[in-house]
């Protein structure tokens, strides 16, 4: 090899020259196909390659040209993508982790939060509520009914209260056994009302004030030939304070909670109350009845007709 050839080849090492030869061969596939069909023509291919490089002003040694031809035949310096498979897929995912990593991490975090909230918080709360409801229906509410019944039994002075309490407690426990919480709580409310009614103490007295009528009379709509007479009473506890009570208005059929209402009496009682007030403006015999602790009903001191009105 001449000095000029050595100087021209000096800037490129042998490996780079061999790679360049292979690259040239790849870009001249028509030449490669024709010339590599037979091994006997390798020399002719080398001559043509030398001519190609000579035209570019590059002198390539023969052993480099031979190395390039051999490398092309052996597929050296050629990238072959890996075969599809799990390893290849995982490798590509790892390489592209910056693209999909953050969205996937955000989704996984959201799923983790939802999972912790559902399995760690919501489900335990739900199970706790279900268990609490079961305990209340099977233990707490029946125990309240038993306690109320025992209180009524101990405090009442009339058998009818015990009979009513026993029926309410039995009905409430049946509701609880069926899982009917509303029915069980309604029975407890009725037992509570019965107990409170037994404990009430008040007296019914005729109202004797200038701004309120002490009595009045009306013609019932169902029989305009008749006359109903009423005296106006109020319920007062032992301290003299008014007590509000549920009163059934016989004219409307509605129950209203009031502290003052009209009690229907006979004409004789009505006239006697009127005469008592007209005498000196004060009703001396103003006691109509008394409700004592342990009893359900008022014990009347004067005869009454069993009806009442809340408006007049």
Pairing of strands 202-206, 299-300: unpaired
Whether residue 96 lies inside any domain: the answer is no
Chain centroid to Cα 213, Å, comes to 56
Nearest to 22 by CA among 54, 57, 70, 80: 70
What is the residue range of 47's domain? 3-73
Q: What is the pLDDT of residue 2?
A: 45
- 302 and 209 in one domain? yes
As given in the structure block, the two tokens for residue 276 are 């008592």
- 300 and 272 in one domain? yes
- How far CA 85 is from CA of 78, 82, 93, 100, in Å, comes to 21, 9, 12, 20
Whether residue 141 lies inside any domain: the answer is yes
Whether residue 190 lies inside any domain: the answer is yes
Q: Predicted confidence band at 5 (pLDDT cuts at 50, 70, 90)? A: very low
- 298 and 207 in one domain? yes
Q: What is the pLDDT of residue 211?
A: 85
- 207 and 195 in one domain? no
Whether residue 206 lies inside any domain: the answer is yes
Answer yes or no: is pLDDT of 10 > 70: no
- What rounded mean pLDDT belongs to the chain? 83
- 193 and 131 in one domain? yes
Whether residue 88 lies inside any domain: the answer is no
Domain boundary among 199, 234, 264: 199
Q: What is the pLDDT of residue 110?
A: 85
Domain boundary among 168, 199, 230: 199
- 12 and 35 in one domain? yes
Whether residue 102 lies inside any domain: the answer is no
> What residues form DSSP beta bridges with 218?
228
Q: How many domains does the chain have?
A: 3
- 275 and 195 in one domain? no
Whether residue 222 lies inside any domain: the answer is yes
CB 172 within 8 A of CB 184: yes
Q: What is the pLDDT of residue 38?
A: 53
- 179 and 154 in one domain? yes
Domain boundary among 153, 174, 199: 199
Whether residue 78 lies inside any domain: the answer is no
The string of pLDDT tens digits covering residues 54-82 is 777 777 777 777 776 676 666 554 556 66
DSSP 3-state of 184: helix
- 118 and 42 in one domain? no
- 232 and 167 in one domain? no
Q: What is the pLDDT of residue 232?
A: 97
Residue, of 132 and 302, whose pLDDT is higher: 302
- 46 and 29 in one domain? yes
Nearest to 299 by CA among 190, 202, 164, 155: 202
Average pLDDT over residues 266-275: 94
Residue, of 248 and 222, whose pLDDT is higher: 248
- 289 and 211 in one domain? yes
Answer yes or no: is pLDDT of 8 > 60: no
């Amino acid at each position: 090899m001449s000095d000029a050839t050595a100087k021209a080849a000096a800037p490129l090492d042998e490996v780079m020259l061999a790679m360049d030869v292979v690259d040239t061969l790849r870009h001249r596939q028509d030449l490669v196909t024709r010339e590599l069909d037979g091994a006997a023509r390798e020399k002719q291919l080398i001559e043509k390659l030398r001519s190609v490089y000579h035209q570019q002003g590059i002198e390539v040694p023969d052993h480099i040209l031979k190395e390039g031809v051999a490398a092309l035949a052996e597929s050296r310096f050629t990238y072959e993508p890996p075969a599809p498979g799990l390893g290849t897929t995982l490798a590509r995912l790892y390489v592209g982790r910056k693209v999909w990593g953050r969205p996937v991490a955000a989704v996984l975090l959201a799923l983790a939060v939802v999972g912790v909230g559902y399995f760690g918080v919501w489900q335990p709360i739900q199970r706790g509520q279900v268990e609490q409801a079961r305990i209340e229906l099977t233990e707490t509410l029946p125990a309240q009914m038993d306690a109320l019944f025992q209180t009524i039994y101990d405090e009442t002075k009339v058998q009818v209260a015990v009979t009513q309490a026993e029926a309410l407690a039995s009905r409430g426990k049946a509701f609880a056994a069926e899982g009917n919480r509303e029915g069980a709580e309604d029975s407890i409310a009725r037992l509570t009302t019965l107990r409170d009614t037994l404990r009430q103490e008040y007296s019914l007295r005729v109202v004797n004030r200038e701004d309120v009528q002490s009595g009045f009379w009306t013609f019932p709509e169902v029989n305009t030939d008749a006359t109903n007479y009423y005296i106006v009473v109020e319920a007062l506890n032992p301290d003299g304070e008014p007590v509000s009570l549920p009163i059934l208005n016989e004219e409307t059929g509605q129950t209203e909670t009031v502290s003052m209402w009209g009690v229907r009496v006979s004409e004789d009682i009505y006239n006697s109350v009127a005469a008592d007030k007209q005498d000196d403006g004060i009703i001396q015999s103003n006691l109509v009845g008394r409700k004592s602790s342990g009893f359900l009903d008022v014990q009347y001191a004067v005869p009454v007709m069993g009806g009442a009105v809340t408006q007049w």
